[in-house]
Structure 1
Amino acid sequence: MNTQTRPSALWVAYGSRGVVGMIRRLDGRYTVTMAGADAELGAYPTMEIAKSALHAHLGPGADWPTFREH
């Protein structure tokens, strides 16, 4: 088993019109930044909570985005 972990990772969230945001893992936290934003939305303890926060900021009726690790 590989016990090495990357110090950070990046997932890009894609909606029906392209990139809508990203989630970056660093030091055990998941930081959400919306596309085009100058500031981070927030940092969350789990990936699932970060995904939910990103989705919530897309607005009412928005489809769940596709997350791809880069």
Structure 2
Amino acid sequence: MTDHTLTGQTWVAFTKVGAVGSVHRVTNGFTFKLLKDEDYRGVYPTLDAAKSALHANLLPGTDWPEFREH
């Protein structure tokens, strides 16, 4: 991810096994990070696009996560 500023708005993604990652609002959209990641992933134009990208990076067959804003 290029240098973007986090705005403080965060959604934590939960599956049956617990928290798996988080989505964050940045200056130009939204980014996400899985728990195993050291850095944030790309920037997406909408919250829904970032949530979909996070889900696409989970193990195949994983149900859609519950996203809770924090």
Q: May I ask how many residue pairs the two structures share in their alignment?
A: 64
Runs of 4+ residues over 2 Å off in structure 1: none
Q: Which runs of 5+ in 1 are unaligned?
A: 1-6
Letter in 1 for 2:23: I
> TM-score by structure 2 length?
0.83
Provide the identity percentage: 45
> TM-score by structure 1 length?
0.83
1:58 aligns with 2:58: yes
Q: Which runs of 5+ in 2 are unaligned?
A: 1-6
Rg comparison, structure with higher value: 1
Between the aligned partners of 1:67 and 1:38, the Cα distance in structure 2 is 21
